[in-house]
Amino acid sequence: MRFAVKENLAQLFFSGAAVLSGAATLLILGFMILLSLPVLESGLLMNILTDPWSPGHGQFGILAMIVGTLYIAGLSLLIGFPISLGCSFFIQITSPHGPGKLLKKLVQFMTAIPTVIYGFVGVFLLVPVVRQVFSYGSGMSILTASLMLGILICPTMILFFSQSFARVPKNFLLAADALGGTPFQKLIYVIIPHAWPGLLTGLILGFGRAMGDTLIALMISGNSVMLPSSILDSARTLTAHIAMIIAADFDSIEFKTIFICGSVLYLLTSCGILAARILDRRQQG
């Protein structure tokens, strides 16, 4: 009988831990919503979403940050996506042996490079280059941040793309080979039709990674609070905005709006994860 007690206790312990991990996710959401409530209740939400940010004039709008986030994340995806696609072709299709394996190792290694290092190199290498090439502003711009972020998000996308290419059933590929298909035809007619949900998932995860990154945007995008009008303008992302607020007065509206930023980021990334899950199920099923 003592066995049964031990078994049940263990199960209780394991399930307790799982509940704790699940609760962590909800707890963070709860805190973000709870702390944005005062602003939501005061009916200032529309002002906060549309006003410019100038605390001196009592305006605490985060529109410029939302636009900045979307600009930087979107542009970095535009830069990172073709490179990632090419690299995953390289790993899975054009040279799966030797060079492809090496590239995969390098890509896995890239995931271990600290973000702050990308930012540091960005400040001292990329910013001067951008400043000289375009001779416009300080060199800290949407473009600079997006170039670095584009490289940062590559590993996420490459690993996901290659994984979804590898999941294409072998007999489909063999059939295409038997019919005399070239690698290109195999890619267009067999692999992509089969793996597109995976491609989309990788894209969503890459976007989430670009949106959620703080250090690169904070260090090399210039952090101006104006609405950007070109990619050479400086901009501030939501993440950098949160990092920059060091308000001493916890009760100020200025301070409370950063929880709105937090909630927006939380909700956007969770939507991305949900979409990724649905797509993933689609490819498997």
Partner 1 sequence: MKKPFFDRLLVAFSWGCALLLISAVSIIIGFLVVKGYKTINLDLIFADTRPLDGLLLKRQVFGGLFPAIIGTLSLILLAISFAMPVGIASGIYLSEYAPANQKWFFSLMVDILAGIPSIVVGLFGFSITIFLHHFFSNRIFPCLLISALSLAFLVLPYIVKTTQTAMESLPFQVRLTAPALGATRLENIIFVLLPTALSDIVSGLVLAIGRCAEDTAVIMLTGVVATAGIPKSIFSNFEALPFYIYYIASEYSDPSELMKGYGAALILLLICSGLFCIAHWIKNTIDQKQRFSY
- Residues in 216-245 at the binding interface with partner 1, rule: CB under 8 A: 218-219, 239, 242-243
Smaller CB separation from partner 1, 78 or 106: 106
Q: What is the DSSP letter of 236?
A: -
Binder to partner 1 among 48, 72, 73, 187 (CB under 8 A)? 187
For residue 27 the two structure tokens come to 């707890």
| Choice from 35, 40, 70, 173 touching partner 1 (CB under 8 A) | 35
Piece of the chain touching partner 1 by CB under 8 A; list 48-56, 120-128, 131-139, 171-179: 120-128
- Give how many residues touch partner 1 by CB under 8 A: 85
Residue indicated by tokens 């605490």: 60
- φ, ψ of residue 95 in degrees (nearest 5): -140, 70
Residues from 130 through 149 that contact partner 1 (CB under 8 A) = none
Distances from the Cα of 167 to the Cα of 85, 88, 280, angstroms: 16, 13, 11
Nearer to partner 1, 116 or 175 (CB): 116
User: Count of residues for the chain?
Assistant: 285
User: How many whole angstroms separate alpha carbon 7 and alpha carbon 221?
Assistant: 55
List binders of partner 1 among 53-82 (CB under 8 A).
82
With respect to partner 1, which residue has the nearer C-beta, 11 or 230?
11
Among 67, 93, 173, 227, binds partner 1 (CB under 8 A): 93
Residue of 53, 118, 161, 165 interacting with partner 1 (CB under 8 A): 118
* Residue 156 binds partner 1, judged by CB under 8 A: no
| Interaxial angle between packed helices 192-212 and 142-166, expressed in degrees from 0 to 180 and rounded to the nearest 10 | 140
What is the C-alpha to C-alpha distance for residues 143 and 74, in angstroms, rounded to an integer?
Answer: 11
| H or E segment to which residue 195 belongs | helix 192-212
> Of these, 33, 40, 63, 103, which contacts partner 1 (CB under 8 A)?
103
